[in-house]
Each structure stands twice: as C-alpha cells, then as structure tokens.
C-alpha cells in the first residue's frame, strides 16, 4: 500500500508533468513571428532555387524556355516518384518563365562584370579580341581577358559589343578604349595581346592616332597562340 506521503509525491509529479507539457505546447505554439519567419525562409529557398536553375540554364547554353518546358516537369516527376510528395505547390512557387530566367541571368552577369572590372582596375592582364558575325550579318566584337588571381590563371569574357561602323583596326580599338573609359580600367594595365590581334598592334604601333592620345604609359607584347 502507498502511504499518504507517496500519494502526495506522485500527485505533485503528475501535476508538474502536466504543467511542463502545457508549457512546452505553449512555447511551441505558432506565433506571427514564427509563421512569417517560416514563410520568409520558404520564399528565400524558392528564390534561391530559381537563381541556381537559371545559372545552370545559362551555362548549358540552352533556350531559356527549357526551365518551364523541361526542368520544372522533371523536378515535379522526381518529387512524386522518388519522394512521394505532392509537387504542384512547390513547382508553382519556383519562377522559371522565359522572361524570369533572362532577368536572373542578366542580374548575375551584371554582378560578375562589376566584380571583374573592379579587379582589372588594379591588376595587369592580357587581352584577346575576336570578331564574330551574327545571323543578320552584324559584326560582333568579343573581348577576353586573362589574368592571375589567388595564384591561379583565369580567362574570362570581358564584353561583347556590336561594331556599328566597320571592322577596321582603328574602329575595333576605339570600341575597346571606350569600354575601358566607361569602366575606369587603365589601358596601362594591359601587358600583352594574345593571338597578335591586329587592333592591339594598332594600339601599340600607332600611338599618335590611338593610344598616344589616351595613355602613353601602355606598353605590351603581342603573343601568338597562347593556350
């Protein structure tokens, strides 16, 4: 038989356990702050997914419509088949329309260009200029830069601009010069031109017309076929 003291102890313990349970439930109850935080986290995750997928689309070179036409249906099928979870609500909240993907890529490209130009303002680098022709026969100038960062060699596309007038060496040089002025990159930071680009030879050899009017400190080597 239990004594009165034992019964009192058990009664107190039961009451204490009940109070602890109620306290836990009260502390874990949904609040406005928690609901907003949870919703905000989900929105952040879906926005991050949209940017990550847009980056993959950009790297693949595929049309931007592949997001809605292939990637989202594939994700939905994986969620249903492998994870056995309803996917419609998740899929609807990941924006991947053609315009959205294009906007995401433009935003990321702008950030990368800004970082690259800021870095080139304070370091030496080589330049390679290539001409390409668009389907409408418009001439496109591609400028690549090669530089060292964190003891590693990097090669990046600096810009792609249409040649409005012609494709003469002088015109190409002025497109390059105008871009460097716009981005505040000193021409004196150029130390070489790869593949012996004619426009860069113009920059080096005809300083009285070109570079001499702009920056007389720029001297570099023409290099053929650097890989």
Residue-wise pLDDT tens for the chain (227 aa)? 545 555 554 454 555 555 556 556 655 555 545 544 555 566 778 888 888 999 899 888 889 999 999 999 998 898 888 888 887 778 888 888 999 999 998 888 888 888 999 999 999 999 988 887 777 777 888 899 999 999 899 998 899 888 887 777 778 888 889 999 999 999 889 988 765 444 444 454 443 334 444 444 555 554 444 44
Outline which parts of the chain fall under CATH 3.30.420. 121-223
Give the Cα separation of 207 and 128 in Å (integer): 19
Element (H, E) at 112: helix 98-120
**CA-closest candidate to residue 145, choices 213, 105, 200:** 200
Which fold does the domain 121-223 belong to in CATH?
Nucleotidyltransferase; domain 5 (3.30.420)
**Does the predicted TM-score (pTM) go above 0.95?**
no
Give the Cα separation of 86 and 77 in Å (integer): 10
CA distances from 160 to 131, 132, 187 (A): 9, 10, 18
Token digits of residue 123: 């370091």
């Amino acid at each position: 038989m239990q004594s009165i003291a034992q019964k009192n102890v058990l009664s107190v313990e039961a009451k204490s356990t009940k109070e602890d349970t109620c306290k836990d439930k009260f502390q874990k109850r949904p609040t406005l702050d928690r609901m907003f935080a949870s919703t905000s986290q989900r929105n952040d995750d879906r926005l991050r997914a949209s940017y990550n997928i847009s980056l993959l689309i950009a790297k693949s070179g595929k049309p931007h419509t592949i997001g809605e036409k292939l990637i989202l249906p594939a994700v939905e099928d994986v969620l249903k088949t492998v994870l056995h979870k309803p996917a419609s609500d998740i899929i609807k909240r990941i924006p991947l329309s053609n315009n959205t993907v294009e906007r995401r890529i433009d935003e990321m490209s702008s950030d990368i260009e800004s970082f690259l130009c800021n870095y080139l303002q304070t370091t030496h680098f080589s330049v390679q200029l290539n001409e390409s022709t668009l389907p409408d026969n418009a001439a496109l100038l591609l400028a690549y830069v090669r530089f060292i960062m964190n003891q590693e060699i990097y090669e990046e596309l600096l810009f792609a601009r249409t040649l409005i007038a012609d494709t003469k060496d002088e015109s190409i040089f002025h497109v390059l010069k105008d871009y460097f002025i716009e981005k505040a990159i000193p021409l004196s930071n150029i130390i070489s031109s790869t593949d012996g680009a004619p426009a860069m030879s113009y920059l080096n050899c005809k300083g009285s017309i070109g570079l001499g009017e702009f920056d007389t400190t720029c001297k570099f080597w023409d290099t053929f076929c650097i890989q």
